[in-house]
Amino acid sequence: MRVLVTGGAGFIGGNFVRYLLSSNTNDSVIGLDALTYAGNIESLMDVEDKPNYTFVHGDVTSHEDVEAVFAVGIDAVVHFAAESHVDRSILDPGAFVRTNVLGTQVLLDAARKYGVKKFVHVSTDEVYGALGSTGYFTEETPLHPNSPYSASKAGSDLLVQAYHHTYGLPTCITRCSNNYGPYQFPEKLIPLTIVRAMANEPIPVYGDGQQVRDWLHVIDHCRAIDAVLREGVSGEVYNIGSDNEWTNLRIVERILDVLGKPHDLIQFVEDRPGHDRRYAIDATKIRRELGWAPTIPFDEGLASTVKWYQENETWWRRVQSGEYQSFFETQYSTRLSQ
Ligand code: NAD
Ligand code: DAU
């Protein structure tokens, strides 16, 4: 298969590109990414010379960029490209509607025109809204997004379902819980806590810190998406999660303990507006129908993630300083054009 991975220079997309290239398949992989602040080509330096991998710098909202990629022949699309950070969506919703809704529609049109055999849309558990202290999201839970981010993702999900229903496009939607692991941009809770704790800086915990998230290692998410790509039934939605619920405060305390740092680095700050209290996924369907199950115990995954940030300080320091963005302009794009 020739697989197009949109958002292939982001956190999960980049891990998925590496996962596909390291698994024993004959797939070739095209990563398409606009390299917004969240895209980092330095995350993929270890695979850039693989003969079955190509990086394309392009915007999913641009018909021209998207057509140019599909014209080379694409068998399957795994669509990660998105604006992904809830706090940013509260400050600037427009960028989220543009990329997440319009960008998805541009890709769906191209997928239809060029007859792709599978379109996997990577969505999120946040489209279901928030839970109280009990209950789980199933694939039948009505969509009830609460933030501009989750509303834009829900909009993209509805478009994907409409293209399947109306045009018979072979689509699947995945809705996963919170991911953690290597190469995550240090604006999200776990990497932010790790890099701030390492620098003995205060760690902002929103509100009372009692919000609950279900954490899954990014490699287990990649394995689930791969299962959906190969075995997922057209038109279906698959929830992905690992029954691993933690309050934000406990997660931050656990990271401080792993690093041997004092809990008084924690600083309670003003809550996120409209902050969803709890997400929890019922992943029975993907477990039963596709045989997927998480493999990385949280203790091990968190310890290895902390270790990764300790051993890859150059990577996140260059993100913090902004140098990672000039690398593409000054060096990588020249190499691409040769
Ligand atoms: P990310 O922000 O790390 O990466 C997003 C990538 O998309 C970046 O490389 C960025 O440059 C690229 N991008 C943004 N706008 C683009 C555009 N217009 N054209 C082309 N590329 C563009 O996000 P992530 O955390 O890796 O999430 C990837 C996907 O998974 C998203 O769709 C997100 O909704 C979903 N998701 C994320 C999580 C999580 O915990 N991070 C959980 C469930 C689902
Ligand atoms: O549930 C899946 C979603 O998980 C994905 O769809 C999103 O793309 C991804 O960003 C993530 O969303 P969250 O809002 O849950 O992730 P974030 O890391 O931003 O925050 C996790 C929790 O920690 C949330 O309750 C807010 C809180 N938080 C976050 C930050 C950045 C803090 O208390 N302090 C912080 O500094």
| SS3 track for 214-229 | EEEEHHHHHHHHHHHH
Q: What pLDDT is attached to residue 332?
A: 63
Interval 181-239: pLDDT, tens? 999 999 999 999 999 999 999 999 999 999 999 999 999 999 999 999 999 999 999 99
Q: What pLDDT is attached to residue 334?
A: 55
Q: What pLDDT is attached to residue 328?
A: 74
Note the Cα 46 to chain centre separation in Å.
Answer: 20
Q: What pLDDT is attached to residue 26?
A: 85
In which order are the strands placed within the sheet that holds 53-57? 53-57, 28-33, 2-6, 76-79, 118-124, 171-176, 237-240
Q: What pLDDT is attached to residue 128?
A: 98
Domain with residues 2-183+215-244+277-297+324-337, CATH architecture = 3-Layer(aba) Sandwich (3.40)
Which one of 90, 122, 189, 277 would you pick to mutate in the ligand 2 pocket, going by the greatest count of ligand atoms within 8 A of its CB?
Answer: 189
CA distances from 171 to 8, 33, 101, 151 (A): 19, 21, 16, 20
How much distance in Å is there from the Cα of 87 to the middle of ligand 2? 8
160 Cβ contact partners less than 8 Å away, ≥ 6 residues apart: 104, 108, 119, 121, 171, 173
Which tokens hold the place of 206?
């929103």
107 CB near ligand 1 (under 6 Å): no
Distance CA 65, CA 106 (A): 10
Interior angle at CA 291, CA 285 and CA 293, nearest 5? 85
Distance CA 201, CA 184 (A): 19
Residue ranges in the chain whose pLDDT is less than 50: none
Q: What pLDDT is attached to residue 326?
A: 86
Q: What pLDDT is attached to residue 17?
A: 98
Question: Which residue ranges make up each domain of the chain?
Answer: 2-183+215-244+277-297+324-337
Cβ atoms 195, 156 nearer than 8 A? no
Cβ atoms 262, 200 nearer than 8 A? no
Which residues on adjacent β-strands are paired with residue 206? Answer: 269
Which one of 84, 101, 242 would you pick to mutate in the ligand 1 pocket, going by the greatest count of ligand atoms within 8 A of its CB?
Answer: 84
Interval 143-196: pLDDT, tens? 999 999 999 999 999 999 999 999 999 999 999 999 999 999 999 999 999 999
Q: What is the DSSP letter of 147?
A: S
